[in-house]
């Protein structure tokens, strides 16, 4: 597995991380702990060193899962977790008060079975707490040795700049893929200017870009996709053209659409580290293999030219969820 550095920081991670949310939360019922423990340890054996979790995933269950599964490898892996929701529950709203950040840090350390958090993200920007106070609190936690790096998620450019002036931001985590390209206009240039790494979540479009989700797929109530406008049957039919594009390139490269989607992201910047999630060993291996796929300048031009003619149908989030992003 190749490695990458997140921006100008000294935080070196595998070129592909593992998003762990779906093991416990977000895409249906939590998966079997023993199976997920085996998957996490298999990821380490395959060279993955970057694992993404949050107190909100469960809540709390995902951190506990990682804490137990990764304990034998703690010094060789990088664990990112997040604060920012009331009681760790997104439905209850945002809470990034300094005292709450400290509470989350202490609780996360316990659940993760560790004495330091490698990367501590603000999960969503809280409009009721100045970002300078948030950055200052994390700065104090870094000085105390409880946290090593500060991150933001779904933050807008001015917020990133204000936070970075107080405590250097190591990474921004936001959605980015061939069907969610909003970061390209302002966010990516700002990150490059400031030397901040970028960690795209949902790099496979919440599974859609794998080509395995068609208009007949159904999602149960605890699966976030059941309420997202981009996952209505009509939107899935309309958005199939993007999967078809990936499929054509995949045929040429003897790869899968998912591998091309990840290779495309990796080719954008050397400081981009996608974190696809999975609960299946075969998918883990497939995703990791994407790091060996080389897309030439001609390949990238061909993909961009074709993608520019495709209009993605459906908003990526519900209206209430969208209000928490890009602040």
Q: What is the DSSP letter of 180?
A: B
Catalytic residue among 57, 121, 176, 317: 57
DSSP string for 246-286: HHHHHHHHT--HHHHHHHHHHHH-TTB----B-S-HHHHHH
Residue 293 gets which letter from DSSP?
P
CA distance 131 to 76: 31
Instruction: Provide, for the chain, the percentages of residues in helix, strand and coil under a 3-state DSSP scheme, each rounded to the nearest 5.
Output: 50, 15, 35
**Beta carbons of 290 and 262 less than 8 angstroms apart:** yes
Please give the biggest Cα pair distance in the chain.
54
Contact status, residue 11 vs residue 269, Cβ threshold 8 Å: no
Q: Is 78 helix (H, G, I), strand (E, B) or coil?
A: strand
Pairing state of beta strands 78-83 and 117-122? Answer: parallel
Which DSSP letter does residue 177 get?
A: B
| Spatial distance between the Cα atoms of 214 and 239, rounded to a whole number of angstroms | 10
CA 215 to chain centre: 25
Q: How far apart are CA 212 and CA 230, in angstroms?
A: 15
Local structure of 14: helix, strand or coil? strand
Indicate the DSSP class of residue 145. T
| Residue 68 in tokens | 């137990």
Both structure tokens of 77:
């892996």
Is 116 annotated as catalytic?
no
H helix or E strand, kind and range, residue 169: strand 169-175
Q: Which residues are catalytic?
A: 57
């Amino acid at each position: 597995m190749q490695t990458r550095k997140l921006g100008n920081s000294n935080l070196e991670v595998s070129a592909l991380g593992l998003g762990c949310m779906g093991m416990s939360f977000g895409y249906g019922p939590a998966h079997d702990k023993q199976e997920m423990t085996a998957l996490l340890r298999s990821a380490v054996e395959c060279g993955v060193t970057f694992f993404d979790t949050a107190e909100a995933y469960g809540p709390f269950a995902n951190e506990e899962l990682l804490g137990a599964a990764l304990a034998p490898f703690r010094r060789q892996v990088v664990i990112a977790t997040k604060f920012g929701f009331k009681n760790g529950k997104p439905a209850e709203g945002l809470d990034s008060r300094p005292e709450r950040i400290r509470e989350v840090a202490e609780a996360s350390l316990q659940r993760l079975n560790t004495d330091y958090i490698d990367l501590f993200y603000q999960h969503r920007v809280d409009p009721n707490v100045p970002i300078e106070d948030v950055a200052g609190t994390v700065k104090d936690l870094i000085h105390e040795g409880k946290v090593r790096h500060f991150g933001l998620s779904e933050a807008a450019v001015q917020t990133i700049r204000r936070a970075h002036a107080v405590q250097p931001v190591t990474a921004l985590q936001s959605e980015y893929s061939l069907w969610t390209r909003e970061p390209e206009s302002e966010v990516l240039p700002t990150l490059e200017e400031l030397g901040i790494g970028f960690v795209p979540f949902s790099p496979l479009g919440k599974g859609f870009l794998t080509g395995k989700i068609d208009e007949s797929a159904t999602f149960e109530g605890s699966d976030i996709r059941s309420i997202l406008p981009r996952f209505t049957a009509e939107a899935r039919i309309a958005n199939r053209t993007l999967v078809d594009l990936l499929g054509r390139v995949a045929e040429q490269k003897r790869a899968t659409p998912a591998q091309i989607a990840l290779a495309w992201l990796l080719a954008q910047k050397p400081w981009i580290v996608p974190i696809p999630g999975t609960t299946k060993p075969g998918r883990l291996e497939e995703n990791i293999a994407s790091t060996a796929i080389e897309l030439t300048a001609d390949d990238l031009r061909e993909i961009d030219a074709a993608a520019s003619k495709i209009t993605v149908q459906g908003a990526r989030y519900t209206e209430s969820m969208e209000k928490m992003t890009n602040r």
